[in-house]
Amino acid sequence: MTDTGHTRARERAVEAVAALRSLAARRPDDIALLGGFADAVLDGWPAPVPEAVRTVLRETGGITVGGVPYRFGPGPARHDGLWELGALSHGEGTLYVGVGSGSASGDVEGAEDAEDAKGAEGAGDAEGRADWGPVVSLLQRLDDHELTIEAPTFTDWLLAVAELLGGGAEDLDDRPAPAVSVPAVPTVAVAEGGDPELAALVGRGDSLTDLVDLRTPPGHPCAVRWEPYYSLDHGTADTGGSETVLRLAGDGRALLVRSDVSGDFLDRPVTRHRVPANAPARAVAELRALAAAFPDRVVLGPGCADAAMDAWPVPVPEDVRTVLREIGAVAVDGMPPLRLLPGAPEHAVDPEAHRMMGGDGAYWPVALARHARRGALVQVRVDAESGTWGYVVSVPAGPAELREDPEVTVLAESLPHLLLTVARYAREAAATGDFARAVRDATRSFFPNTGEPWTRPVPVEEFAGSGDPLTAALADLPAGTHAADLRGAPFPSDVCFHRAEDWGHRPLDRLLFPGAGRLVAAVPAP
């Protein structure tokens, strides 16, 4: 920030203090200024306080409007890099001011390497800022969410408040509706896009986090075109506890908006990371490199020849052969071992569970995950007609559990994608102090319903008349069948049929995975 910028910020601060004092003098019955702070107090705050902000805070630590306080100091840290100012709309909304960037990884997934992490962290240095900002508001209603960039800086917001209330408005809810707007862009798209400045702020990106570019807003107040990924409707079995979590990034250049899903269904498709075209060869190379670097943590089993694969009961496409020629097993400390070749004892499945999972030729087992006394079979779904090996899912292996509590977790788009994900888990675990624990935490979703976002299953009648042949065909399944389209689900994601509003307590007859797992359908017992 230039000296001119700092000077202008201090001038705005002096102007804002004068305007607030004049306002409080004219409306003493409903507007009051709170006491200010000494510099020694400001020096001890957990975020830098620029001189322009100090100019305000020495005179007043907040303003009360109609009995509602707006405090300018630190409070409970619910959002990274933002402090709460006060409430709007009778507690349904909250105002925040940006005071600094926050951590490098925050609400997005970790950077792929040290340079990404360094870029994300370095961008957050707030020491040279002339002012706090932006000021944002977030309203979270049952059926409506509003995110607004109210002002670019703290002192701009104070001046706007003084003008609003000085013009006769009763409270801050009377502020004008935004005339301009900006989109919130999925951070995965940002990470894989062409803007290196923003990409450095999001690391790898996260499917449930969006980014608002604050560098050149079209004006203020500015609405954000955004909606959460979760829904508070549809009567989930748990009490819905989802919320929106904000994070300021890049010294105020961007706002990250994460849907923290808890006890509710996902309500719209997410943006996934692209699976590279060379995923099979890349997975082999990454796993070999990890096995060489951490021989006591990552162990690979030998692959097999094409002649052996030719004799398997399912066709083996070339992308899978590329992996299996080189690697037949993957053992990572803290994770259920992946046995990619047939004949492993873990692959033995109860005949009734086998029938409910789709029967012969419909899946290829790769691991048995355990939770307490229960087991789940991690499997690649195989399209019986085309021979395509598709999505990797985890399904309860016990027939009683599968029948009474039908559920599935979708883990990856393909076997090579799963192996690339496991390789990433291992790399990230190696940077921690407890490798096995980090891997164990990362692979909890190998067993279904372990707290991942829930993709909502719906009655198949809702797919009738669909223009998509894959989903349209679901409408021909028996009445009572529920289905979920997994093409817009994050990895991992739970599909808990027994939590669906209309499923009730009916037992499962069988699971179907059209399109090699791009969809999943649960057919209830007659």
Query: DSSP of 164-199, one letter per residue?
Result: HHHTT-SSGGGSPPPSEEEEEEEHHHHHTSS-HHHH
Give strand pairing partners of 209. Answer: 258
For the chain, the average pLDDT equals 91
- Which residues of the chain carry a pLDDT beneath 50? 103-107, 110-126, 237
Determine contact, residues 140/226, Cβ cutoff 8 Å: no
Rounded CA gap, 16 and 22, in Å? 10
Determine contact, residues 458/500, Cβ cutoff 8 Å: yes
Determine contact, residues 519/513, Cβ cutoff 8 Å: yes
| pLDDT for the residue 143 | 66
Q: Which tokens in the block code for residue 124?
A: 């957050």
R_g over Cα of the chain: 27
Q: What interhelical angle do 279-293 and 415-430 show, nearest 10?
A: 30
Rounded CA gap, 394 and 375, in Å? 10
Give the whole-number percent of the chain exceeding pLDDT 90: 79
The amino acid sitting at 134 is P
Rounded CA gap, 15 and 161, in Å? 12
Rounded CA gap, 454 and 431, in Å? 30
What burial letters (b/e) apply to 271-299, b meaning 16+ CB within 10 Å? bbbebeeebbebbbebbeebbeebeebbe
DSSP annotation string for 62-122: EEEETTEEEE-S-----SBTEEEEEEEGGGTEEEEEE-----SSTTSPPPSSHHHHHHHHH
| pLDDT for the residue 78 | 77
Place of tokens 């675990």: 429
Rounded CA gap, 93 and 67, in Å? 16
- What's 497's DSSP letter? G
| pLDDT for the residue 196 | 96
Rounded CA gap, 333 and 295, in Å? 10
